[in-house]
Amino acid sequence: MNIDRMVMAFAGLVILAGTAAGFWVHPYWLAVPAFVGVNLFQASFTGFCPLAKILRAVGLRPGSAFP
């Protein structure tokens, strides 16, 4: 698995978990998927993704989106 796929999988998991927690626990949990969405939006323009940097340091191979 490369960095691009791992970033998308992790973002999807956090968005689903945050939305579920916002529905069943407290609406303030909806800030979590909003934060992930804002981070994905800015990464599409700047190419900077903190998770991608962490995954590169761990040793995953880069993909085309986060070289």
Number of domains in the chain: 1
What is the mean pLDDT of the segment spanning 16-32? Answer: 97
| Residue linked to tokens 């995953």 | 60
Percent of the chain predicted with pLDDT > 90: 78
Half-sphere exposure of 34 (CA within 13 A, CB side): 7
Exposure of 54 in the CB half-sphere (CA atoms within 13 A): 6
**Token pair listed for 66:** 């986060």
- pLDDT given for residue 33 in this prediction: 97
Q: Is residue 65 part of a domain?
A: no
Q: Is residue 30 part of a domain?
A: yes
Lowest mean pLDDT among 8-17, 20-29, 46-55: 46-55
Instruction: Specify the pTM.
Output: 0.85
How far apart are alpha carbons 6 and 8 in whole angstroms?
Answer: 5
Of the listed ranges 9-13, 33-37, 63-67, the least confidently predicted one is 63-67
Contact 61, 12 (CB under 8 A): no
Which domain does 50 fall in, by range? Answer: 3-58
